[in-house]
Chains A and B, each alone.
Chain A
Amino acid sequence: DTGVSQNPRHKITKRGQNVTFRCDPISEHNRLYWYRQTLGQGPEFLTYFQNEAQLEKSRLLSDRFSAERPKGSFSTLEIQRTEQGDSAMYLCASSSSGGDITDTQYFGPGTRLTVL
């Protein structure tokens, strides 16, 4: 399967704990995005990388959230001191800046986080 992959698919944690999610983009894609989706809503943009550079961050990305893409390939999203309001589906997407002028974003299956 050459699509976007995310791990874990599900994560249950207690309030106050730290969690980390991983995203592996489509191999030739240099852009990587994180979105958050709550029940009954559309995805909301969190942040985006081009190669290893983090170029855009949403106001939703509080100081408890940090994302990295150290080698321009996979990315991690860490949430520190989780709160119940962090419960959501965290989606990763990737795209290529070359060739596809519309820069189509392809989404992974998501990581569902439940904070108890």
Chain B
Amino acid sequence: GENVEQHPSTLSVQEGDSAVIKCTYSDSASNYFPWYKQELGKGPQLIIDIRSNVGEKKDQRIAVTLNKTAKHFSLHITETQPEDSAVYFCAARRELDKGRRALTFGSGTRLQVQP
């Protein structure tokens, strides 16, 4: 089955700096990669996703890049703000695998933005 590894497990940055979180996946058939943000006491919230026919996607201060050959994808947050502090999870899935809809998650990165 799929295995997703995520690094680093914790990340502390100064407000205004950039943050980068990296994930690798094992199943070359995976073709959908969402990123979720989880705040204390809440469920994960989708912040951005990318499909394997796209190398990069950007939404305001957040961007995701995908390298299919190396089987890794990264989340980039620019101009970080204290409200970006949370746990971030990457995930992978075979998008068109009929009957199989499970997301496989990484172990999470706790991001702390110091004001």
Contact = CB atoms under 8 A, between A and B. Distances in A.
Contacts of B105: 42-44
Interface in A39-93: 40-45, 48, 55-56, 58, 91, 93
Given A102-B51, A102-B95, A45 B104 contact: yes
B21 interface: no
Contacts of A42: 4, 6, 89, 91, 105-108
Contacts of A103: 32, 95, 101
B43 A102 contact: no
A104 B46 contact: yes
Contact of B89 (A33, A43, A108): A43
Nearest to B89: A42
A52 B43 CA distance: 24
Interface residues of A, number: 26
Contacts of B51: 102
B63 interface: no
Contacts of A29: none
A95 B86 CA distance: 24
B43 A107 contact: yes
Contacts of A95: 101
B49 A104 contact: yes
Contacts of A56: 99-102
Interface of A: 4, 31, 33, 35, 40-45, 48, 55-56, 58, 91, 93, 95, 102-110
6 contacts: A4-B43, A44-B105, A55-B99, A56-B100, A102-B34, A109-B41
Minimum-distance CB pairs A-B, first 8: A42-B105, A107-B43, A45-B102, A107-B44, A42-B89, A109-B43, A43-B105, A55-B99
Given A45-B103, A55-B101, 10 more contacts: A40-B107, A42-B6, A42-B91, A42-B107, A42-B108, A43-B105, A45-B104, A48-B101, A55-B99, A102-B49
